[in-house]
Amino acid sequence: MSSLQNTFSSLKKAQTQLALENRQAKDKALAAAAAAIDADRKIILAANEKDVEKARAGGMKESLVDRLLLNDKCIDDIIAGIETVIRQEDPIGKVRAGWTLPNGLFIEQVTVPLGTAAIIYESRPNVTADAASLAYKAGCAILLRGSSSALESNRALVKAIKAGLAAGGGIAGAVALADSGNRDEVDEILTARGFIDVVLPRGGKDLIRRVVENARVPVIETGEGNCHIYVEPSADITQAVEIIANAKLQKPGACNAVETILVHRDIVKDFMPLLAARLAGKAELRCDPVTRAAIEAALRTLPAGLVLKDATEEDWATEYIDYILAVKAVASVDEAIDHINQYGTKHSEAILTNDMQAAEEFRRRVDAACVYVNASIRFTDGGEFGFGAELGISTQKFHARGPMGMEALTTIKYLIRGTGQIRP
């Protein structure tokens, strides 16, 4: 018997119970889970400290350690996230449509829990609590497979959550942590047909690829974000510089950080020196010849610390997740859209413009989960969207696209009532 078989079975059993819980019961259990995390705050932070020490001792990059690190503020945010989930409507049992057939059959389309989800994620222990609370409210059991680097943190968090759910009269068995640390565990999850209804890989390109190649259960791909901002000639240039700086610098490790800037060639001369000045010493620029020339023409006025390189074809296809920005001049909104649809990962894309027609064209033709006009693409986030937390950001074109809140863990069921109808 595989090592997770018992876990799969007990999750499935717990899910059938949880599916029947009403909103009051689910919210009460979640409130108790939040209280338990609050009560276990010191234990959780101590466990996290162990993970962080081990990570640093193992030579983990500080930007990754930063993703792993919990502090009091993080615990507060985790608790606030659960409270937002509690305040949200129950996504289950909604009649989304209903109609009567000519023969009198009455059909209703009702939302139901998707079943048992598995989330496979790297670092970020806050995902543990976010995913557990969203799944619980959606009536879904969840198997959490965090990174081995966050093992102690996740154990402490899951222990608190399960104890809280139980104390609140809930179904603690609906949350489980896969914590053997064994890599085979992932393959077991990916092939658990009949037990795992969906797998959500949340992490880098390699994780996503491994999941897609090995999964025999449904997958919703997340996260890989090669995102663009297109600066159209009519854009507010000062605002554009600040939006780009925000989208690159606020959290370069996030999947919705910007990776490539497309600038209309008509404004390259005015715009590029401003952008270069703003990012000098903060992010490396990899430019095509046109944008590089515009910066170099203004070099004497630029601050020290500017790192300028030539972009290659590979840069257009790269998600740096780092303080690096590719820049390219384009001749039209059409060229910008075509570039994005060719190299983008259908995550978050923005146009900065004051031209209605260009904005409309961009919104219609860019194929991405989130298409922005005049704002930083860093808002693509379940918390920012008002979902309380998120399971990840789907780059898959299914019911769940973009930031996934609890609705991503629901599906539908048709309920049909008749009076003896048979098919002629």
User: What letter does residue 166 receive in the DSSP assignment?
Assistant: H
Tell the smallest beta-carbon distance from residue 201 to a copy of itself (Å). 13
Q: Note whether 399 binds a copy of itself by CB under 8 A.
A: yes
User: What letter does residue 219 receive in the DSSP assignment?
Assistant: B
DSSP H or E stretch at residue 335:
helix 333-343
Tell the smallest beta-carbon distance from residue 98 to a copy of itself (Å). 12
Q: What angle do CA 25, 26, 30 make, to 5 degrees?
A: 120
Tell the smallest beta-carbon distance from residue 134 to a copy of itself (Å). 16
Q: By CB under 8 A, how many residues form the interface with a copy of itself?
A: 66
Dihedral sign of CA atoms 325, 329, 333, 335 in order: negative
Give the residue from 259, 402, 237 showing the smallest Cα distance to 317.
Answer: 259
Among 88, 148, 246, 332, binds a copy of itself (CB under 8 A): 246
Among 46, 101, 297, 331, binds a copy of itself (CB under 8 A): 101
Between helix 126-137 and helix 23-39 the angle, nearest 10°, is 160
Tell the smallest beta-carbon distance from residue 22 to a copy of itself (Å). 11
Among 369, 389, 391, 404, binds a copy of itself (CB under 8 A): 369
φ, ψ of residue 121 in degrees (nearest 5): -140, 160
Among 378, 388, 390, 406, binds a copy of itself (CB under 8 A): 378
Q: How far, in Å, CA of 21 to CA of 138, rounded?
A: 10
Q: Note whether 385 binds a copy of itself by CB under 8 A.
A: yes
Tell the smallest beta-carbon distance from residue 378 to a copy of itself (Å). 4
Among 34, 243, 272, 325, binds a copy of itself (CB under 8 A): 243
Q: Note whether 87 binds a copy of itself by CB under 8 A.
A: no
Site string for a copy of itself, 103-132 (x = CB under 8 A): --x-x----x-xx-----------------
Among 50, 61, 309, 364, binds a copy of itself (CB under 8 A): 364
Q: How far, in Å, CA of 186 to CA of 188, rounded?
A: 5
Q: How far, in Å, CA of 95 to CA of 37, rounded?
A: 34
Which span sits near a copy of itself by CB under 8 A: 171-179, 235-243, 285-293, 306-314?
235-243
Tell the smallest beta-carbon distance from residue 419 to a copy of itself (Å). 6
Q: What is the dihedral of CA 345, 207, 404, 350, to 10 degrees?
A: -20
User: What letter does residue 43 receive in the DSSP assignment?
Assistant: H
Is residue 58 a contact partner of residue 151, using CB atoms and an 8 Å limit?
A: no
Tell the smallest beta-carbon distance from residue 339 to a copy of itself (Å). 14
Q: Note whether 397 binds a copy of itself by CB under 8 A.
A: yes
Tell the smallest beta-carbon distance from residue 197 to a copy of itself (Å). 5
Rg (CA), the chain: 24
Segment 283 to 342, residues that bind a copy of itself, using CB under 8 A: 341
Which class for 414: exposed (0-12), middle (13-18), buried (19 or more C-beta within 10 A)? exposed
Please give the C-alpha separations between residue 402 and each of 59, 85, 248, 367, 388, in angstroms, as whole numbers.
33, 18, 19, 12, 15
Q: How far, in Å, CA of 385 to CA of 186, rounded?
A: 30
Q: Note whether 375 binds a copy of itself by CB under 8 A.
A: yes
Q: How far, in Å, CA of 313 to CA of 40, rounded?
A: 50
Tell the smallest beta-carbon distance from residue 345 to a copy of itself (Å). 10
Tell the smallest beta-carbon distance from residue 379 to a copy of itself (Å). 6
- Please report, as a single letter, which amino acid is at residue 163: A
Which of residues 170 and 383 has its CB atom nearest to a copy of itself in the complex? 383
The footprint of a copy of itself (CB under 8 A) covers: 16, 19-20, 99, 101, 105, 107, 112, 114-115, 193, 197-198, 212-213, 216, 218-219, 236, 239, 242-243, 245-247, 250, 341, 363-365, 367-376, 378-380, 384-386, 396-402, 411-423
